[in-house]
Amino acid sequence: MRARLLAILAMWTATALPAAAEQVVLGLSQNEIAITASFDGSEILVFGAVRREEPIPEGPPLEVVITVAGPSLPVTVRRKERRFGIWINTDAVDVDHAPSYYAVASSGPLRDVLSNIEDLRYRISVPRAIRSVGAPMNIDDSMAFTNALIRIRNNANLYQVLEEKVVVDQQTLFRTSIRLPASLTEGGYVTRIFLTREGKVVSQYQTTIDVRKVGLERWLHALSLNQPLLYGLMSIFIAIAAGWGASAGFALLRR
Residue 13 scores a pLDDT above 70: no
Give the C-alpha separation, 209 to 142, whole Å. 32
DSSP state of 37: T
Write the pLDDT tens digit of every residue in 202-244. 999 999 988 876 545 554 555 566 667 766 776 777 778 777 7
Residue whose C-alpha is closest to residue 191's, from 98, 100, 26, 66: 66
Residues in the chain: 255
- Determine the Cα angle at 167 with ends 166 and 170, to 5°: 135
**Are 36 and 214 in contact, with CB atoms under 8 Å apart?**
yes
DSSP of 94-154: EEEEEESSEEEEESS-HHHHS-HHHHHHHT-SHHHH-B-----TT-S-HHHHHHHHHHHHH
Give the C-alpha separation, 10 to 48, whole Å. 10
Write the pLDDT tens digit of every residue in 105-138. 999 999 999 999 999 999 999 999 987 666 666 6
Residue 162 scores a pLDDT above 80: yes
Rg (CA), the chain: 24
What is the model's pLDDT at position 7? Answer: 42
CB atoms < 10 A from the CB of 232, how many?
A: 11
Residue 62 scores a pLDDT above 80: yes
- Determine the Cα angle at 114 with ends 125 and 5, to 5°: 90
Residue 254 scores a pLDDT above 50: yes
Please give the model's pTM, rounded to 2 decimal places: 0.73
Residue whose C-alpha is closest to residue 128's, from 137, 119, 136: 119
What is the model's pLDDT at position 12? Answer: 43
What is the model's pLDDT at position 134? Answer: 62
